[in-house]
Every structure is written in structure tokens, then in C-alpha cells.
Amino acid sequence: MIKYTIKRILLLIPVLFGVSLVVFLIMRVFSPDPAPVVLGEHASREAMQAWRNAHGLNDPIVWQFIDFLKNALTGNFGTSYYTNQPVMKEIMARFPATVELAICAILFASVFGVLLGVVSAVRKNTAVDYASTILALIGVSMPIFWLGILLIILFSGTLHILPSTGRIQPMLQPVGGTGLYLWDTLTSGDFEAFGDAARHLIMPTLALAMYSLAIITRMTRSSMLDTLNQDYIRTARSKGISSHRVVKHHALRNAMIPITTVIGLQFGSLLGGAVLTETVFAWPGIGSYTVQCIQKSDFPVVQAVVLIIATVYVLINLIVDLIYAFLDPRIKYSKEEG
Amino acid sequence: MLLEIKNLTTEFKVKHGTVRAVNGISFHVNEGEILAIVGESGSGKSVTSLSIMGLLQENGKVTGGEILFKGEDLLKKSEAEMQAIKGDQISMIFQEPMTSLNPVYRVKDQIMENILTHNKNMSKKEALERTIEMLRTVGIPSPEERANDYPHQMSGGMRQRVMIAMALSCEPDLLIADEPTTALDVTIQAQILELLYEMREKFNMSVMLITHDLGVVAEAADRVVVMYCGQIVESAEVKSLFAKPMHPYTLGLLKSIPRLEDESKEPLYMIKGMVPNPLHMPPGCPFSDRCDRCMEVCRKKMPELRPVGDHLVRCFLYENGEAEK
């Protein structure tokens, strides 16, 4: 298992190389020249040329790429063209917000998705099943921004019980720490701030989780239906154990394998930044920031963000694969793969 | 009488109507005996056993009759009462040992689950000891180690032994074995039958052995019930059935067993035709279309199951005393 894990982590190297090459080329080929964007349309030709030279944009593209790789290996992704801040600092200021939202959304979607899926599989073709089907259909088809706006109208506009935008009231913002406000406020014992952060999280979490919730519900339902028809479920029933235990202990455990895959994939995409959700709720995350940087041709930021997201995605897939081995004893990585 | 089935009828709702898989059958199992239920696929023998265990699929339902176990009707029991009986007093083993064990749990956990479900006061340690003892009893070598195996680490024969160990772990009064040897190769089949026979002696239990293989019946059973299209067509002591089969269907089944001592060059006998579609049963005897000795009356009326000698037979040939053969 350890050998397998190391092997998979080493496989990250070619993946990241490929990803950085692709994103590097795309930015250079398809993005507009950043110089006029940074310096303004009326800047002189010489000033723009000087700026390009200073940022290495006049070097041959191969040299630019090699320079980028060399720096990236030392963890230096350069500075943002606009703020002149180190890229990593810019990213780390926003990534925790995305992570916090993604974790809340995936937890919500997984818990309720699996629950709903199990109930609708066990009560197949009943009102509960139909209701969950409709919910899932709404979940996959409703645009996130629209759902977000509806939520804001209801909870902030009409009922005035939830804040419409932001992560926390500026006065309560925790200093330092991980940047995950729920965690930081809880560990520092600041329950007022914790409550405020939680209240800010509710609507973005709901909006972001709906799609994943729908997918996880459907996957759980079909996986459970498949499992419940297996011979070993009949064996379990023949032992006289309660139907609750049959479902939870015998069926769900087997059904969890495909469900885990879906949850992992969903989590990966949530971590990539939820542009729409972040925009609607003015959530200071990585998604909307990246889109801005793409529009402004802020090459160093985009390159770094894509690399980080690719790494996270690969690592999540690795974790999912390791969970398989825990869920299903027939999967052994050390013997066949090691 | 340990188990008495009276007029059991089980129906399945399917797309194009209702299929009566078991049609008013009655039989009994005595204490300590092995009763074989024989029939082709679709004859209703498995459905009978699943009806007894309350394990029918959602679209299946017992629509009539009684299942008296120790004098009490299982059909009137609540779910909780049935759960207390299943796995404890009546247990079951299935045809497919490869898929009948849960792939994600160790063998010992699956057996211990059965023991602990029915012995609430037993400690885990005692349950484990009992599990290992059961595995040893059913002939699993080095049971202390194999108990930690997952099902996929075992062969089919081993898994069926584990199923038997699990089924017998609470010393049931009745074991229902639904085609326990069908999925196994021949040498293993004999071992499993031998094991069932031994276990019957050791635990003094009754066995309801469901099979399509008359060879298995001859080897193991005391009494035989032959089923065809959801009905009993003949039942008798095993020796008498083999010596003097009466119903043309039983006769056909017996004739279609290949025999080593048979030196004639004739091809092996085969019952012609197929089991009729359960949605379109012929109006008379369901076997009439396939029967070598079909008479006019057979196509119009359903014969009754009636005693003929020491057999029970459902055939017009025996309507007026025993027919010529």
C-alpha cells in the first residue's frame, strides 16, 4: 500500500509537467497581450516593450517555459502582474475560502445524498423515491446562479435571517491561522465569530451542494438497488438480522465503492473553485479570482492556480483509490501493483 | 412432524399478469429426516423454500395456505418473530456459494453475526470460539487462520462449507438446502452431501434438500417430493420412488439419468418439449403436452394428488387402481 502510494505520488510529476505545458501554451497563444492591460491603452510603445522585457515575455517561448519550470520547482511562481504581490501569497489568501466552502458543500451533499439515495432504494417506487427523483432532477438542472439568487431573495431579502454576501463580518475576521474560518474561530474559542462564519456559509453551501447532492443521490440509489439484489443480501436476511442492519451493514458497505468515486470526483471539481457560487455570494474564493486573472492575462497567477488545482485533483483521486482498498478487501494494491 | 406445509400458494406479479409459482402444495418434514424436493427449473421448488423463509422478492407473495413449524403458522408471525426463528431454528444455504457470502467481511464476522444475533448474552470471544469450532466441524483445515479469510480467498467448496457452518452455528431444527451442490464440481458435490449427512446425524436436525439432481436424492434423502409446474406430482419414500416410479414425469426424470451399467447403444432418454409458460398453462394436466402416455382426459381436467400404494401420485393413469406399465 505504501509502495503504491509513493508510486502514485511520483506519477504526479509527469501529470504536472503536462498540465503546466498545456496551460502555459494556452495562456501564451490565446490570451491577449498583458502589457496594454497592465499599463493602460495609452502607454507608450517603449514602456510596453520595457515591461515585456522586464517580465521575460520577449524571450523565446521555450526559454520562458524553462524559466517558469525552474522557478516553480523552488516554489516560486512569480508575482502577479497587477498587484506585484507574490502569486503564492495571492492564492493562499483565497484558497482557504474555496476549501472551506467545498468541504461544507461536499459534506452536506454526501450525507444527505447517501441518505436520500438509500431511502429511495429501500422504498423503491414509493412517494419518497419519487420525491427524491424530482429533487435530484431539480438539483442537476437548476442553474447555480439562479438558485443562489433565489436563496438570497428569500433568506436575506425577505426573511432577513442570513447575510447575503461575504464570509464573515470584517470586525470578527480571525487573524492568522489556517484561513478556514470555522476552524480558526472554533479553535480560538470565539463562538460569536464562529456563528457568524457559519451563517455566511449556509447559503453558498446549499447552492453549491445541490448539484453534487443530486448526483450522489442518484448514484447511491442505483448502486444500492444493485447491491440489494445480490445473493449475499438474501443470505443476510436468512440469518434473521434486522432489515436496518441488512441495509446499513451489508448493502451500503458494498454500495459505497461507486458512491465514493462520485463523491471524490465531485469534491475535486468543487475545489477547483465554484465560479458562479463565488460570484453570486461575493465569496472571496479562488474560482472567481482565477476567472478575473484569465481575463486580465495575469499569466503567473493562472499557471499557479491550475497547477495547484491539478495537484489537489490527483491527490483526491489517490485518496479515493486508497479508500477503495479499505472498503473492498478484494482490492489490494501492494500485491498486484506494488 | 417438524414442518407441515398445507395448501401453500405463492404468486408473483409480473409485467403481463400473475404467475402462480407454487400452486396449493402440501407436504411435511419429519424430525431428523432428509426430505428432497425434486423438479426442473421453474417447478417452484426454490420458491417453496423462499416462501418458508419469508425471503420472497418484492413482487412475490404467499397468497394462501399455512406453513406450520412446530405447530405454529409462520405466515402469521410478525417480522420480529420471524427474525428470531430465521438463522436460529430454521436456516438456509443457497445454490451459489461464490456469491452468497458478503465479499467485504471476513468469514468469521459473518458467522459470528449469526451467532450473536441469536445469542444476545454471548461475548464476542465465545462467539469466535464457537465460529472456529463450527468451521472445524464442517471440515475446514486450520480454522483459526481461515476464519480471518475473506470469501474471495476461498474456493467454491470451501465457501459452501462456510455457508453450512454459518447455517448450523445456532444448531437449527431445520436446514433448507437450496441446490447446495449444483454450482460445485462433482467431487466436491459428494463431499458436501456427505457433510450434510454427517451434520444431520450430529445435530439431529431435519433437512429439506432442494435439487434437480436425482443422483443427489438417491444418495442423501429419506423421502422425495417431485414437483412440476408448482404442484406436487408424486411423493414417496426414496427407495420406493426409485424402485417403482409412478408418475410419467418421475419416470422420465429417472430414465434420463445416464447409467454406467447400461450397455445398450440407445441414446439417453429425454423428456420431450419444455416446461409450459406459467402465464399460459394448459387447461388439464400441465405435463400433458410432454407426456408419453397422455390420454384425452389429461388435456381437459387436472388430476388430483391421490394415494396409490405407498406413493402419492397426481395422474389419471392411476385413477382406477394402479395402471398397467
- Cβ neighbours, 10 Å, residue A286: 30
DSSP string, A201-225: HHHHHHHHHHHHHHHHHHHHHHHHH
* Cβ–Cβ under 8 Å, residues B197 and B128: no
User: Cα(A287)–Cα(A269) distance, rounded to whole angstroms?
Assistant: 11
Scanning B64-103 for CB atoms below 8 A from A yields 79, 82-88, 91-92, 94, 96, 99-103
- Domains of chain A, by residue range, sit at 1-87+302-338, 95-284
Q: Which residues of A touch B152 (CB under 8 A)?
A: 329-330
Region A86-113: what's the mean pLDDT? Answer: 94
Q: What is the pLDDT of residue B105?
A: 94
Could you give the CA distance from residue B285 to residue B294 in angstroms, rounded to a whole number?
9
Per-residue model confidence as pLDDT tens digits over B135-152: 999 999 999 999 999 999
pLDDT digits (tens, 9 = 90+) for B47-64: 999 999 999 988 999 999
Report residue A306 CA to chain centroid gap.
13
Sheet containing B34-38: order of strands: B90-93, B174-178, B206-211, B34-38, B223-228, B231-237, B311-313, B306-308
What beta strand segments (E) does B34-193 contain?
34-38, 60-69, 72-73, 90-93, 174-178
Q: Return d(Cα B5, Cα A166) in angstroms, integer.
A: 71
- Average pLDDT in chain A: 90
pLDDT at A337 over 80: no
Q: Is the confidence at residue B299, as pLDDT, over 70? A: yes
CA B70 to chain centre: 19
CA distance B234 to B252: 13
For residues A324, A326, A332 and A338, what is the CA-based torsion angle, rounded to 10 degrees? 90
Q: Cβ contacts of residue B296 below 8 Å, gap of 6+?
A: none
- pTM of the full predicted structure? 0.85
Could you tell me what percent of chain A has a pLDDT over 70?
98
Task: Give the DSSP letter of residue A291.
Answer: H
Are B103 and A327 an interchain contact pair (Cβ–Cβ within 8 Å)?
no
Half-sphere CA count of B237, side-chain side, radius 13 A: 5
* Partners of residue B195 on adjacent β-strands: none
pLDDT at residue A335 is higher than 70: no
Q: How many CB atoms lie within 10 A of CB A337?
A: 11
CB contact under 8 A, B113 and A235: no
Structure-block grid coordinates of residue A21:
505545458
B55 interfaces chain A, CB cutoff of 8 Å: yes
Do the interacting molecules here have an ipTM over 0.90?
Answer: no
- pLDDT for residue B130: 95
> Angle B251-B252-B258 (CA atoms, 0-180°, nearest 5)?
105
Phi, psi of A47 (to 5 degrees): -60, -45
Contacts of A105 (CB under 8 A, 6+ apart): A204, A205, A208, A209, A212, A270, A274
* Residue B219 Cα, gap to closest chain A Cα (Å): 26
**Interval A125-136: pLDDT, tens:** 999 999 999 999
Helix (H) or strand (E) holding A171: none
Q: Using the beta-carbon criterion (under 8 Å), do B86 and A239 form an inter-chain contact?
A: yes
Question: In this structure, what are the phi and psi dihedrals at residue B22, rounded to the nearest 5 degrees?
Answer: -125, 125
How many CB atoms sit inside 10 A of residue A157's CB?
A: 12
Strands B206-211 and B174-178: parallel
Q: By the CB < 8 Å criterion, does B178 face chain A?
A: no
Nine cell digits for residue A118: 438509500
Tally the C-alpha atoms within 13 A of residue A73's C-alpha that lie toward its C-beta.
7
- With cut-offs at 50, 70 and 90, classify the pLDDT of residue A5: confident
What chain A residue is nearest to B53 in terms of C-alpha separation? A238
β-partners of residue B313 are: B234, B306
Place of cell 445454490: B95
Please report residues of B whose CB lies closer than 8 A to that of A250. 102
Eight-state DSSP code of residue B206? E
| Cα gap A330→B101, rounded to integer Å | 13
Residues in chain A: 338
The upper half-sphere exposure of residue A12, i.e. CA atoms within 13 Å in the direction of its Cβ, equals: 18
Cell 418473530 sits on residue? B81
- Candidate from A235, A237, A238 with C-beta closest to B101: A235
Pick left, alpha or beta for residue A175 (phi over 0 → left; psi -120 to 50 → alpha; otherwise beta): beta
Quote the cell numbers at residue A19: 498540465
Compute, in degrees rounded to 10, the torsion defined by CA atoms A185, A190, A191, A195: -50
Task: Tell me the pLDDT tens digit for each residue of A49-96.
Answer: 999 998 888 889 899 999 989 988 888 888 999 888 999 999 999 999
Residue of A nearest to B148 (CA): A329
How many whole angstroms separate alpha carbon B152 and alpha carbon B155? 8
pLDDT in tens, B5-62: 999 999 999 888 899 999 999 999 999 999 999 988 888 999 999 999 999 988 999 9
Contact B166 A239 (CB under 8 A): yes
Say how far apart CA A299 and CA A58 lie, in whole Å: 14
The neighbour count for residue A92, using CB atoms within 10 Å, is: 13
Residues B39 and B50 sit within 8 Å (Cβ to Cβ): no
**Is B108 within 8 Å of chain A by CB?**
no
Mean pLDDT to the nearest integer, A2-17 = 88
Residue A273: predicted pLDDT: 66
Mean pLDDT of B227-255: 92
Residues paired with residue B6 on neighbouring β-strands, in sequence order: B66
The per-residue pLDDT for range B258-282, each reduced to its tens digit, is 877 777 777 888 888 888 888 888 8
- Residue among B83, B101, B104 whose CB faces A240 most closely: B83
pLDDT per residue as tens digits for the range A215-269: 999 999 999 999 999 999 999 999 999 999 999 999 999 999 999 999 999 998 8
User: What is the DSSP secondary structure assignment for residue A158, as one 8-state letter?
Assistant: I
**DSSP structural state of residue A119:** H
**Residue type, position B48, single letter:** T
Residue B247 pLDDT more than 70?
Answer: yes
Looking at chain B, how many residues does it have? 325
Tell me the sheet residues that pair with B93.
B177
pLDDT of residue B282: 84
Size of interface A-B (CB pairs under 8 A): 70
DSSP-assigned beta bridge partners for residue B139: none
Grid coordinates given for A38: 497592465
Chain A CB contacts of B79 under 8 Å are 243
Burial of A169 (0-12, 13-18, 19+ CB in 10 A): middle
Distance from CA of A244 to the nearest CA of B (A): 12
Cell of A72: 516553480
Q: Name the residue in chain B with its Cα closest to that of A239.
A: B87
Angle (nearest 5°) at CA A293 between A288 and A299 = 145
Nearest CA in chain B to A253: B104
Q: What is the pLDDT of residue B320?
A: 66
- For the cut 60, the answer to whether the pLDDT of residue B294 exceeds it is yes
Give the 3-state secondary structure of A66-114. HHHHHHHHCCCCCECCCCCCEHHHHHHHHHHHHHHHHHHHHHHHHHHHH
Spatial distance between the Cα atoms of A85 and A190, rounded to a whole number of angstroms: 31
**What gap in Å lies between CA B142 and CA A9, rounded to an integer?**
40
Closest chain A residue to B152 measured between Cα atoms? Answer: A330
For the segment B276-285, what is each residue's pLDDT rounded down to a tens digit?
888 888 888 9
At residue A334, the pLDDT reads 62
Classify the C-alpha dihedral A167-A168-A173-A178 as positive or negative. negative
pLDDT at B325: 45
What is d(CA B191, CA B197) in angstroms, rounded to the nearest whole number?
10
pLDDT for B132 equals 96
Q: Which of A235, A253, A327 sits opposite B100 (nearest CB)?
A: A235
Identify the CATH homologous superfamily for domain A95-284.
Answer: MetI-like (1.10.3720.10)
Q: Rounded to an integer, what distance in angstroms lies between the CA atom of residue B174 and that of residue B166?
A: 14
In one letter, which amino acid is A8? R
